[in-house]
Structure 1
Amino acid sequence: MTRFLPLLALPALAACTAVPPQAPGDKPASYMAIGTEPGWTLEITPGLLNYNGDYGDTKILQPNPGARPSAGGERYVTDRLTVDVTHAECSDGMSDRRYRDTVTVTADGKTVKGCGGAILAPDQLAGTDWTFESIGGTRVAADRPTSLSFAADRLSGSAGCNRFSASWSSDGTTLTAGPLMATKMACAGAAMTQESAFFKLMESPVRIEFPSDGTLLLTGADGQTAVLKRAI
């Protein structure tokens, strides 16, 4: 039976060092890569290479030897792991999610290929599905399912209470939604608060951005935001 490892939010790889420089007291940054068939993950921190292969059955932890420049990217070489990071767009093979880098790992002589680095923005919003992480700077209630889906000319979803839908258009940097049509169910507490905040946000055009962690950021003229993560 085919098994997949969970997708991870991936920060960008800094040129040559692979891990951005850290300020005193910062949590160490990490670079993540993933692959499928067989499923594997690789985490590169300033001190370690942490490889989990064969759906987690193979585990290799090695000191980070530092990145060597290579054609189109960087290379890490240890006695058990060789990692080649090539700055060429990559698809994860099980969705339309795209990454900045193509990553090849040779672990104890076995070579696998996958993707890593910054998650790239989707080619278009139509056909994508998202869930809310925060609205108005507040984390959404964990016990209230949320969603936002974009069809060719309509969006639909739930901000934790009622189902809503509207027409939508975008010029690539701004999203404009028609009046949101919603069911009339009353919800107590955080669900109604976060829904009201989202409906207010969408009353006017919002700026759309795609940070390198793969989220979708909607920002209103007053600075209020909604942060969503891709549903795969």
Structure 2
Amino acid sequence: MWQKVIIPFSVSFILIGCSEPEPLVEPSTVYQCAALTLTATVTDTGLDIQLPDQSYALVETISASGARYRDDDFAIEFWSKGNEATLIINGEPFPLCIEEGTLPTSFSARGNEPFWLASLTGQTLTMREPGSEQELTVEAPRLVEDEPIMTWSIAAEDGLNLMILDQYCQDSMSGQSYPYTAYLGREGEKEAGCAGDPRQLLEGVTWQLAQTASEQAPTIQFIPESNVAGFAGCNRYRGTYQLTGEGLQFNPLAATKMLCDETAMAVEDEWFRQLTEVQSFRLDAAGELDLVLADGNVIQLQRKN
């Protein structure tokens, strides 16, 4: 007869210590809006925008394309498409924002001796040289080096290759300043040039006079659509400017009519006088702005904190 046998056994429980889960880090994207750095962070409720001196919490809104966010009062709007974004605060548009580590979808590069102009729009590169113009299909910009200088390669269908370096450049003939350095490679030769929109070096920050006798230094902001605004030492002013391949000039400026002490008024008069004589600009080794006058002297400006 079968007999049921019970074999005793023991069960050991191993207690595994559980630690608190680490909080999730929300994905952030850093943009360069000309000279301004902006960080956008996706949240459960929308998007947080971080500027050097301010932050905003936005909610998502309906968009036909891209991702669009706003605040409750519709005073702030951020709209991203691909690697580019626009920011509007209280009706004032900021410069076009480009995702860090990428290039604008449209820009131009140029070189001298021999002259060439390459205009990129999407995946079409238009090459202009004396007596000729052609459209080439190119690959998307490819980041080939990120240290010490970010470098992108744009290869065309006929073996032409355009290299773009994230490095300040001055045109060898006009002296105009550009945000990128360019090299055009073809048939084993490499021709140097500059690339990008000079406004990327000017817009996005407030520049203030580096040295002044006034308690409050004159300032200037370069605003999209060739506008300027600032403080002259006593009064605030607005106006427009012209930026060409040859240089920079200010159109007549309109100012308020307040009266201040003699020192402030003297600083203001000199500020306006010098702005009428500006012919070009350049960045110094520290990245500060020099407005170059007709006589070769400069107005030295620094970023306002």
Shorter chain as normaliser: what TM range? Answer: 0.3 to 0.5
What is the TM-score when the length of structure 1 is the normalising length? 0.46
| Largest Rg, 1 or 2 | 2
